[in-house]
Amino acid sequence: MVDSAASRPDRHRWTIKGVVLEELVIEDAPCLERLLPLDPNHTPATIRVISAPKLKILGVLSEGIPELQFGTMIFQKMIAVGLTTRMDTVRVLVLDSVGPNLDTVVNFLKCFPFLERLYVIFQSRTGMDNSRKYDPLDPIECLELHLKEVVLKNYDGRKSSPSIDFTKFFILNAKVLEEMEITLPYHRMHNWFAKQRRLLQVKDRASRDAQIELACGSKEDFTDNGHTHDLSIADPFSDMPSEECHDCRFDRRFHHA
C-alpha cells in the first residue's frame, strides 16, 4: 500500500510503511497501461519509465515532479532536456502547466506523436510568451493526424493572460480536432463568450468540424477523481464532472422561480 506523507516542510512524497519513496523506477512493465501520479504534491521526486510498451494513459504531470524520464527522454520540472525517444503508445495525456507554457506542452506532444486526448490544467501566471508560430516544415504528428480532443481547465481569457495564445495555437493547428472544452474558474456573462470566441479565432479553426465549447465554472483539477481506479473506463478523465458555476446556478434558479 502506497500512501502520501510529509517528508520535508515544503513537499510531500510517496511513502511505503513510513519509508519515503524519492524515486519510482519502472524498468520492465510489459502490461502497464496507466501511470497516474495524480497529485503533484504527493509524488516521488523522480519518475523513470525505462520500458512500458503498452502505456496508454499518463498524468497528471507537473513541475511538482522534479524529474521525469521516458526511455532516454528526460524532463526536468517539465522542461525537456532530451528528446530522443518517442512513445507511440500513449493516447491520453494530462498536464498541469504553469503559465500555461506552450513550449513545454508542445515538447510533450512531440514525444507522444499518436496522442488523441490532451487535458491541460492551467496554473495562471502572467508574463509567459505563447505567441509561437506553427512551422509546417517541422510538423507535429499528433496535431496533423491524431489529436481529437483537448480539454482546458481554469482558462483565464483576460488580455494579459497567456492562455489566449495557448488555446489559439490548438484551434488554428489541430487538423483533426473534434472537440475542445474550455472551462473558466469564474463567472462571465454571455457577451463575454462571444468576444472571447473572436479573440480565439474560432472561425479560422484548422478542423472545420471541431466543436469549441467555452463555459464558466469553478477552479478545478483532476486530483480528486474516483474514476482512475475503474479499469472498465477507457479514459478515466473523460467523464470527470465539472462543478457548475455558482452564479450560473443561482441565475437559473432565479429565472425559474
Could you read off the pLDDT tens digit of each residue along the chain, which spans 257 residues? 233 333 333 444 555 555 667 888 999 999 999 998 877 667 778 899 999 999 999 988 988 888 999 888 899 988 888 766 789 999 999 999 998 999 999 999 999 999 999 999 998 887 788 988 899 899 999 999 999 999 999 998 887 789 999 999 999 999 999 999 999 988 888 889 999 999 999 999 999 999 999 998 777 666 666 666 777 788 888 866 555 555 555 443 433 33
- Tally the residues of the chain: 257
For the chain, which residues make up each domain, given as ranges? 1-54+64-85, 91-221
Q: Which one-letter amino acid corresponds to residue 255? A: H
Q: How far apart are the first and last CA of the chain?
A: 50
Is there a contact between 140 and 111 (Cβ–Cβ < 8 Å)?
Answer: no
Q: State the burial class of residue 230 (Cβ atoms within 10 Å of its Cβ: 0-12, 13-18, 19+).
A: exposed
Please give the model's pTM, rounded to 2 decimal places.
0.85
